[in-house]
Homo-oligomer: A and B are copies of this chain.
Amino acid sequence: MRKERLFTPGPVQIPERVLKVLGEPIIHHRTPEFKEIFLYTRELFKRLVDSVSENFVYFASSGTGAMEAAVINFFKPGDKVVVINAGKFGERWGQIASTYGLNVVELKYEWGKSVDIEELKEVLDKNPDIKGVLFQISETSTGVYHDYKAIGELCKERDCLAVADAITALGVYNIKPEEEGIDILIGGSQKALMLPPGLSVLWFSEKAAKRLNKDIPKYYFDVAKEVKKQKEGSTAYTPAVSLIIGLRESLEMLLEEGMENVEKRHRLMSEATRAAVEALELKVFAENPAISVTAVYTERAEEIRKGLLKLGVRTAGGQDHLKGKLFRISHMGYLDTLDHLSAIGALEMVLSKLENRDLLGVGTKAFQQKVLEEEKLL
User: For the complex, is A90 an interface residue (Cβ under 8 Å from B)?
Assistant: no
User: For the complex, is A253 an interface residue (Cβ under 8 Å from B)?
Assistant: yes
Nearest-neighbor residue (CB-CB) of A343 within chain B: B338
Q: Most chain-B Cβ atoms within 10 A of its Cβ — which of A303, A313, A345?
A: A345
A377/B353 contact (C-beta < 8 A), A253-B1, A338-B313, A339-B3 known: yes
Interface of A is mostly: helix
Residue of B338, B350, B377 touching A3 (CB-CB under 8 A): B338
Among A45-53, A178-186, A356-364, the stretch that binds chain B is A356-364
Chain B residues in 8 Å Cβ range of A20: 23
Interface string of A342-371 (1 = CB under 8 A from B): 110110111011100000111011011101
User: For the complex, is A30 an interface residue (Cβ under 8 Å from B)?
Assistant: no
Among A76-84, A131-139, A304-312, the stretch that binds chain B is A304-312
Cβ of A378 and Cβ of B345 under 8 Å apart? no
Chain B residues in 8 Å Cβ range of A369: 360
**Can you list 29 A-B pairs with a CB-CB distance of less than 8 A?**
A1-B262, A1-B336, A3-B334, A20-B23, A23-B23, A303-B378, A306-B378, A307-B377, A310-B377, A310-B378, A312-B338, A338-B342, A338-B343, A338-B346, A339-B342, A341-B345, A341-B346, A342-B342, A342-B345, A345-B345, A349-B377, A350-B377, A352-B368, A352-B372, A353-B372, A361-B361, A361-B362, A361-B364, A364-B364
